[in-house]
Amino acid sequence: MKISSITLVVILIIPTFLSQSCSSATYSLEDIKMEKIERSSHYKEGKFLNLNKTPGFEFGNMAKTFWEFMFNNNEKKPEEMLPTQQIDFTLITNGRPGELKVTWVGHSSQILTMDGKIILTDPMYENKTALIGPSRYNGDVPLNLNELPEIDIVVISHNHYDHLNIGTIEAIHEKVKHFVVPLMVGAELENIGVPREKITELDWWEETHLFGKFMIALTPAQHFSGRGLFDRDETLWGSYVIQGPYHKVFFSGDSGYFDGFKKIGLKYGPFDYTLMECGAYNETWHTIHMFPEESVQAHIDLNGKIMQPMHWGTFDLALHDWYDPMIRAAKAADSLGVTLSTPIVGETITIDENLKTDRWWEVYTSEK
C-alpha cells in the first residue's frame, strides 16, 4: 500500500474539505451575471451539461478504482527526479511581435509569449493541488513569483483544484490585466478579490477581443466541474482558442475525446500550436479524459501543426505509469506524422527557432 495512493483515493472519493474551498463559488440568483448564464443552451436546472451524455462515477466503479489505487504496482511516480530548469523571465519579457514562445510550468500551466503579449493558462504555482491533495513529484514550482512580470491575459479552463488554484490567483491577480473564464467561474475569482471589471466570462463558442488584436474564444470540452461533494457542474468548463495578430494556439483544458474537436478545427483552424491534455486517463473515466492516442487524433481534428502534450509529468492523479502518456503519444504521433513539442518543465522554447522534439523521458523509463 502506498501513501500516494491513499491520498489520491481521498481526492477522488472525499473531495478536499480541508482546502481553501469545499464548494464552487456561485452568483446569487439576483446577480445580473445570472441573466447570461440562464440563457445558455446547456445550462439546465442549475447545472451545466456536456454536448454528449457522460456517465457519472457510480459506486461500483468507485470501489473498483479504490482497490486499484491501493494495490496496483504501476510506477505512478518516477524513481528519480526528472529534468527541470528554473524559469528565466528575461526570455519571456523580451518577446518580439510576430514571435511565439512557450514555457511549460508543469501540468496544464503554460506561459505563452505571443505576438508581444504574455498569457497564462491554468496557473497552478503551488506544490500541492490542495491541503490534502497530491504534491508535485518533480520538485518545486520552477519560478519565483516575485519575478513574475505584468501579465496581459490569464485563461482558466475549469474550477478543479489542479487548474484553478486559489493561492496562485491571490498571489498574482494584481499583476494581471485581464482574466477570461467559463460561465460562473468568475464568481470564484471575485470571491478571492479579483475585481469584476477584470473578468470576462464566456459561454461555448463565444469570443472576446482584448488589446485590439487578440481574440479569445471559449470552445467546448467534454469534462465536468466541482470543488466539493455537492457542487458538480455548477460552473462551466471549456477549451480555448487564443489568436493574436500572427499566431493561433489551442489550449484543450481537460476533456474526453469527442466530435467537438473537428468542429473547432473547422471553425478556427489551422493552429500553429496545440496544447493537448495527455494524462490522468483511465477506462473508468474515459469520457472525460482522453487516452494519448486520442489526444493526437484531436490535434489532427483541430488541424494543428505542432502538438505539445500536457497534464502529465507533474502530479500523481491516475493509475497509469507516469511515462505512459508520452510513450503512447509519441508512438501515435510517429505513425500519423504529427510533430510533438517536448520541452522539460521550466524550459522556454521559441517555436520557429528552438523547438524541442527529443524523447528525453525515455532515459528514465523501463520502456524504450
Q: Is residue 322 part of a domain?
A: yes
- With beta carbons less than 8 A apart as the criterion, state whether 314 and 107 touch: yes
Q: Which amino acid is at 230?
A: F
Q: Is residue 137 part of a domain?
A: yes
- Which percentage of the chain shows pLDDT scores above 90? 80
278 pLDDT exceeds 90? Answer: yes
CA-CA-CA-CA torsion for 330, 274, 286, 2, nearest 10 degrees? 70
Q: Is residue 87 part of a domain?
A: yes
Q: Is residue 33 part of a domain?
A: no
The pLDDT assigned to 55 comes to 79
How many Cβ atoms sit within 10 Å of the Cβ of residue 173? 18
**Bridge partners, 114 (sequence order):** 100, 117
Average pLDDT of 12-18? 40
59 pLDDT exceeds 70? Answer: no
Q: Is residue 250 part of a domain?
A: yes
- Its domain, for residue 216, covers 3-22+58-364
Cell 489542479, located at residue: 162
Q: Is residue 260 part of a domain?
A: yes
Q: What angle do CA 161, 279, 160 make, to 5 degrees?
A: 15
Q: Is residue 198 part of a domain?
A: yes
36 pLDDT exceeds 80? Answer: yes
Question: What does DSSP assign to residue 22?
Answer: S
CATH of the domain at 218: 3.60.15.10
95 compared with 140, residue with greater pLDDT = 140
The pLDDT assigned to 62 comes to 58
Question: Can you read off the three cell numbers belonging to residue 247?
Answer: 499566431
* Residue 171 to residues 118, 140, 144, 297, Cα–Cα distance (Å): 17, 17, 11, 37
Number of domains in the chain: 1
- Which percentage of the chain shows pLDDT scores above 70? 89
Average pLDDT of 172-180? 98
pLDDT digits (tens, 9 = 90+) for 116-126: 999 999 999 99
Average pLDDT of 224-249? 96
Listing DSSP states for 261-281 in one string gives HHHHHHHH--EEEEEEE-SS-
Q: Is residue 35 part of a domain?
A: no
pLDDT digits (tens, 9 = 90+) for 16-27: 333 344 568 899
